[in-house]
Chains A and B, each alone.
Chain A
């Protein structure tokens, strides 16, 4: 593979002399033309990471490379990195045209070059008719368009977007999401996209990096990450509803089970014969998609339906199995009644185990085959 466009190497940011570790050793490499979504809860260090890449914050340690060259000693305006803020941060007293031209005007580019670049970007963003409107008179999604356009005019090598859609109302957010997709494919930018909305991440990114408490827990292709979460936290964060996670233990021979069994509180689950896992503490993951309802007598788990949620294409059914709530996704044609007693069945190969101490997914399936 060619050298990555952007590479973060053991990047650390501490505040208040190490009392707050906002970013705790991040490694990430972004290929040219790739869009990576940084997904994580509030305060996990997403903005701090972007601020270091763009140069607003100085890393405590670690390095940042663009096209293989370190940029940490280059001042923010000269790094060729663009950043778009959640609150747009347009220059309110300037017109749209002046906003778009700003990056070139401050670099003292020629008048014609500026006009050409501004027209081009205005065309791209559908703002041609609004060039002479004052930025403070624009609506939210127009402001965000200006903010993106003003960055594109400077032709950044890497574009960073810090929750660019969160201040927009639902409809505008959807429209802007489409718009961003179109921009991506039209100009092939390298993008890091920060969000805490997983739908946004799933629909825009090639790969998703899940961050938690200053660390990147997993980076994976968008198409795979929901099925192959690598860490308990990722498994509980992605998907709607996310994976059912049961922290418990594997013991050899529990009452009522012949071989080793997994126990979680009152719930006991016999492991299939030939299970390769040793005894110890584990977290068991059951994907709602791979669970199905079955007659009570034939299923390994039994419980009562406590919630049925129709979602158009499918149904989310919550089954209480001995005080443990399991989410099951069923096709819309199956509609169990509330309070009904049901059995819950699954393919043994779909079970996912995470190490009880590492929280990492175990490479082998309980059947001894790699997943």
Chain B
């Protein structure tokens, strides 16, 4: 754990403890470090407890067969890795929920990135009404996920606005039953999610584009690169860390995808839109299998950690590098 910097200038140290002999032993800096540690220790202990204890309890729970109908957690039977092996080997519903979540996530993130980047590039130019549009484009991500889910549930109703527009454009009888067909339900979820979170990509990429240094771009232009080459060969590599961080943030969020799906489809039809979170929610609150759900949650946590480390791999050194 990082302790706050102590007095780094050796001359400060005698002021702190005038009686301390200077000859042998620790350099004066260590003294300051200890004081820093001592001062922050209570805070660190509290935050460790707050962070770690619930995690440890949940971890313990995942090794039992506890259920709220069966009294105290500590009376529940310890079952070792049974929950985990069940999940990994037998539970195809879990497997499908994971794969489904990954697929939906991949499609959503690709679309959000593409739209966000296009909008950001558009916003690098001057045009009328830019600042108004800017505020408008950022609004979706400020709406509560539950509300977004609710709004799109309304939009996708059989006689809702989406179908009305489709009928107007494509003629009558094209009304779609969005929540009764698996592909359509997945599409509805993806549309909702992309609408909701494209603004985050847009915002991050726009600030990234704005901080791309000007001179390498000008140098590329002078060396004969056309606008497309400038963008892909000079601007995008500079943006790489920003892009990856945007993906990491969104990945962490989207593998927890819950609210919108819950409001739109409750995972249906069948389990066509059942995401990991939705499955765990059902395990816990429909089937009261809390211990089993906890095990699933830990598997997802491990998977997410691995995934994010993988994502960060190409820019890790660049992000951790200390600039002179």
Residues in chain A within 8 A of chain B (CB atoms): 54-56, 76-78, 81-83, 85, 87, 89-94, 102-103, 106-107, 147, 150-151, 154
19 interchain pairs, CB-CB under 8 A = A54-B222, A56-B222, A77-B225, A78-B224, A85-B215, A85-B219, A87-B213, A89-B216, A89-B219, A90-B216, A91-B216, A91-B219, A92-B216, A102-B233, A103-B223, A106-B224, A106-B226, A147-B219, A151-B223
Closest A residue to B216 using CB positions: A89
Distance, CA A91 to CA B212, complexed state (A): 11
Distance, CA A93 to CA B235, complexed state (A): 11
Cβ B218 vs Cβ A106 within 8 A: no
Cβ A77 vs Cβ B213 within 8 A: no
In the assembled complex, the CB of A65 is this many whole angstroms from the nearest CB of chain B, namely 19
Cβ B213 vs Cβ A94 within 8 A: no
Cβ A76 vs Cβ B222 within 8 A: yes
Distance, CA A92 to CA B223, complexed state (A): 16
The reply to whether the CB of B220 lies closer than 8 angstroms to some CB of chain A is yes
The reply to whether the CB of B240 lies closer than 8 angstroms to some CB of chain A is yes
In the assembled complex, the CB of A356 is this many whole angstroms from the nearest CB of chain B, namely 43
Known: A89-B213, A89-B216, A90-B216. A55 touches B222 (CB 8 A): yes
**Given the complex, which residues of B lie within 8 Å of A81, measured CB to CB?**
222
**Given the complex, which residues of B lie within 8 Å of A107, measured CB to CB?**
224
The reply to whether the CB of B238 lies closer than 8 angstroms to some CB of chain A is yes
In the assembled complex, the CB of A200 is this many whole angstroms from the nearest CB of chain B, namely 21
The reply to whether the CB of B221 lies closer than 8 angstroms to some CB of chain A is yes
**Given the complex, which residues of A lie within 8 Å of B161, measured CB to CB?**
none
**Given the complex, which residues of B lie within 8 Å of A77, measured CB to CB?**
221-226
In the assembled complex, the CB of A277 is this many whole angstroms from the nearest CB of chain B, namely 50
The reply to whether the CB of B237 lies closer than 8 angstroms to some CB of chain A is yes
Distance, CA A260 to CA B169, complexed state (A): 97
The 8 A CB mask of B217-250 against A (1 = contact, 0 = none) is: 0111111111001000110011010000000000
Cβ A87 vs Cβ B223 within 8 A: no
Distance, CA A92 to CA B224, complexed state (A): 18
**Given the complex, which residues of B lie within 8 Å of A150, measured CB to CB?**
219, 223
In the assembled complex, the CB of A170 is this many whole angstroms from the nearest CB of chain B, namely 18
In the assembled complex, the CB of B323 is this many whole angstroms from the nearest CB of chain A, namely 10
* Choice from B215, B218, B226, B237 contacting A94 with Cβ under 8 Å: B237
**Given the complex, which residues of A lie within 8 Å of B220, measured CB to CB?**
91, 102, 106
Distance, CA A151 to CA B223, complexed state (A): 7
In the assembled complex, the CB of B213 is this many whole angstroms from the nearest CB of chain A, namely 7
Cβ A102 vs Cβ B222 within 8 A: no
